[in-house]
Amino acid sequence: MTLDYLKDVLLDLPKETNAISESILNQIDTMKKAISSRAFCGEPGTNDLAEESAERLLKAVLQWQQRRDMERQV
């Protein structure tokens, strides 16, 4: 290897590092968007099938609040 070759390789390292970093950041951004999109569509869930769904839990909480409010009025 010649000294000029080594110099060229060393000078190109920051460019390559920046390109790789940008690529990784773009992939992370894409994953964030995909996760957010799925979350707003209600797609992600738990791996534990025994766990109740968030929708069912929300309904139960709303029913409990309604019963509590009705009891307070009486």
Provide the residue range defining the domain that includes 18: 3-73
Say which DSSP state 52 is in: P
Tell me the pLDDT tens digit for each residue of 11-65: 888 888 889 999 999 999 999 888 888 777 776 555 666 676 778 888 888 998 9
Measured CA to CA in angstroms, residue 5 lies from 9, 15, 44 at distances of 6, 16, 51
CA–CA separation, 4 vs 8, rounded Å? 6
pTM: 0.46
Task: Give the per-residue pLDDT at 54.
Answer: 76
Q: Which band of pLDDT confidence, cut at 50, 70 and 90, is reported for residue 72?
A: confident
Number of domains comprising the chain: 1
Q: Which two tokens stand for residue 8?
A: 């060229």
